[in-house]
Chain A
Amino acid sequence: MSDTPLLELVGATRTVQGRDLVSDVNLCLHEGEMLGIIGPNGSGKSTLLSMMAGLLPPSRGEIRLAGQPMARLRRQQIARRLAMVSQSADTGDRISVRDAVELGRTPWLGPLRPWSARDDEAVEAALLAVGMDRMAARDWSTLSGGERQRVHIARAHAQAPQILLLDEPTNHLDIHHQFAILDLVSQLPVTTVIALHDMHHALRCDRVMVMQSGRCVALGAPLDILTPALIRRIFAVDARLIAHPADGLPLFAFQRLA
Chain B
Amino acid sequence: MRRGAAVRGAGWLWLAPALLAAALLFGTAVGETRIPLSTVVAVLASKTGLTAAVPDSVDASVIWHYRLSRATVAACGGASLALSGLVLQALLRNALAEPYLLGISAGASTGAVAVAVAGFGAGVISMSAGAFAGALVAFGLVAILARAARGTGVQTTGIIILAGIAGSQMFNATTALIIAQSASAEQARGIMFWLLGNLSGVRWPDIRLALPVALLGLGVALWHVRTLDAFTFGADSAAALGIDVRRARVVLIGTAALATAVVVSIAGAIGFVGLVVPHAMRFLVGVRHARLVPATALAGAVFLVLSDVVSRIVIPGQVLPIGVITALVGAPAFAVVMVRGRRR
Contact between A and B in the complex (any CB pair below 8 Å): yes
Query: Are A94 and B282 touching (Cβ within 8 A)?
Result: yes
Partner of A75, one of B6, B229, B244: B244
- Nearest opposing residue in chain A for B341, CB measure: A94
Determine how close the nearest CB of chain A comes to the CB of B242; give it in whole angstroms.
3
Chain B CB within 10 A, most for which of A16, A90, A92, A93 = A93
Are A120 and B1 closer than 8 Å at their CB atoms? yes
Closest Cβ–Cβ distance, residue B219 to chain A (whole Å): 10
A120-B223 in contact (CB<8A): no
Task: State in angstroms the CA–CA spacing of A194 and B204 once bound together.
Answer: 61
Interface string of A5-19 (1 = CB under 8 A from B): 000000000001100
Question: What are some 7 contacts across the A-B interface (CB < 8 A)?
Answer: A50-B236, A55-B236, A80-B242, A86-B237, A93-B232, A93-B282, A119-B4
| Interface size grouping (class) on chain B | 20 to 34
**B3 lies within 8 A of chain A by Cβ:** yes
B contact residues around A109 at 8 Å (CB): 226
B235-277 interface with A by 8 A CB criterion: 236-237, 239-245
B315: Cβ under 8 A from any A Cβ: no
Per-position contact with B for A98-124: 1 when CB-CB < 8 Å, else 0?
111011111101110011010110001
Q: Are B236 and A94 in contact (CB under 8 A)?
A: no
Q: Select which of B6, B233, B241 is within 8 A of A91 by beta carbon.
A: B233
Q: Determine whether A96 belongs to the interface, using a CB cutoff of 8 Å to chain B.
A: yes
Are A120 and B236 interface neighbours, CB within 8 A? no
Q: Is B65 in contact with chain A by the CB < 8 A criterion?
A: no
Q: Determine the distance from Cα of A16 to Cα of B222 in the docked complex, in whole angstroms.
A: 37
- Given A120-B1, A120-B2, the answer on whether A103 and B230 have CB atoms closer than 8 Å is yes
Is A89 a contact of B223 with CB atoms below 8 Å? Answer: no
Q: Are the CB atoms of A91 and B232 closer together than 8 Å?
A: yes
Q: Give the most central of B2, B226, B229, B242: most A CB within 10 Å.
A: B242
**Which residues 190-247 in B have Cβ within 8 Å of A in the complex?**
222-224, 226, 229-230, 232-234, 236-237, 239-245
Nearest 7 A/B pairs, CB to CB: A79-B242, A107-B242, A115-B4, A76-B242, A89-B233, A84-B240, A106-B241
Instruction: Flag whether A95 is at the interface (Cβ < 8 A).
Output: yes
Known: A100-B232, A106-B229. A86 touches B240 (CB 8 A): yes
Q: Which residue of A lies closest to B288 (CB)?
A: A99
Q: Is the CB of A89 within 8 A of B237?
A: yes
Q: How far is the CA of A105 from the CA of B288 in the complex (A)?
A: 14
Does A83 belong to the interface (CB within 8 Å)? yes
Cβ-based interface call for B151 (8 A): yes
Quick check: B232 and A103 within 8 Å, CB to CB? yes
List residues of B whose CB falls within 8 A of some A CB: 1-7, 93, 95, 151, 222-224, 226, 229-230, 232-234, 236-237, 239-245, 282-283, 286-288
Given contacts A78-B242, A95-B287, A111-B223, contact A102 B5 (CB under 8 A): yes
Chain B residue at minimum C-beta to C-beta distance from A80: B242
Given A102-B4, A115-B7, A89:B234 Cβ within 8 A: yes
> B239 is contacted by which of A55, A90, A120 (Cβ under 8 Å)?
A55
Contact of B5 among A79, A99, A104 (CB under 8 A): A99
Q: Residue A176 at the B interface, CB < 8 A?
A: no
Give the Cβ gap from A184 to chain B, nearest Cβ, in Å.
19
B3, A90: Cβ atoms under 8 Å? no
Q: Are A104 and B287 in contact (CB under 8 A)?
A: no
In the assembled complex, A74 has its CB within 8 A of some CB on chain B: yes
Query: What CA separation (Å) do A102 and B225 show in the bound complex?
Result: 13
Output the least CB separation between A1 and chain B (Å): 22
Given A100-B232, A120-B1, also A92-B241 (CB < 8 A)? no
Given contacts A103-B229, A106-B229, contact A94 B241 (CB under 8 A): no
Using known A-B contacts A102-B5, A115-B3, determine if residue A94 contacts B286 with beta carbons closer than 8 Å.
yes
Q: A103-B232, A106-B229 are in contact. Are A75 and B239 (CB under 8 A)?
A: yes
Report the bound CA distance from A102 to B236 in whole Å. Answer: 17
CB pair A96 B240 closer than 8 Å = no
- Given A91-B233, A103-B230, A105-B4, list of 5 further CB < 8 A pairs? A93-B287, A94-B282, A106-B241, A115-B7, A120-B1
Residues of B within 8 A of A80 (CB): 242
Interface centre among B240, B241, B244 (most CB of A within 10 A): B240
Check A75 against B3 for contact (C-beta < 8 Å): no
Residues of A36-69 whose CB lies within 8 A of B = 50, 53-55
Q: How far is the CA of A210 from the CA of B237 in the complex (A)?
A: 26
A107 to B93 CA separation, bound complex (whole angstroms): 21
Chain B CB within 10 A, most for which of A74, A90, A100, A115: A115
Chain A residues in 8 Å Cβ range of B224:
111
Question: In the complex, what residues of A have CB within 8 A of residue B4's CB?
Answer: 102, 105, 115, 119-120
CB neighbours of B95 from chain A (8 A) = 92
Residues of A within 8 A of B7 (CB): 114-115
Considering only CB atoms, which chain B residue lies closest to A107 in the complex? B242
A119 to B3, CA, bound (A): 9
> Which of chain B's residues have a CB closer than 8 A to the CB of A105?
4
Interface hub of B93, B151, B230, B233 (most chain A Cβ within 10 A): B233
Q: Give the CA-CA distance A110 to B5 in the complex, in Å.
A: 16
Bound together, the chains give a CA A16 to CA B150 distance in angstroms of 12
Partner of B240, one of A53, A74, A94, A117: A53
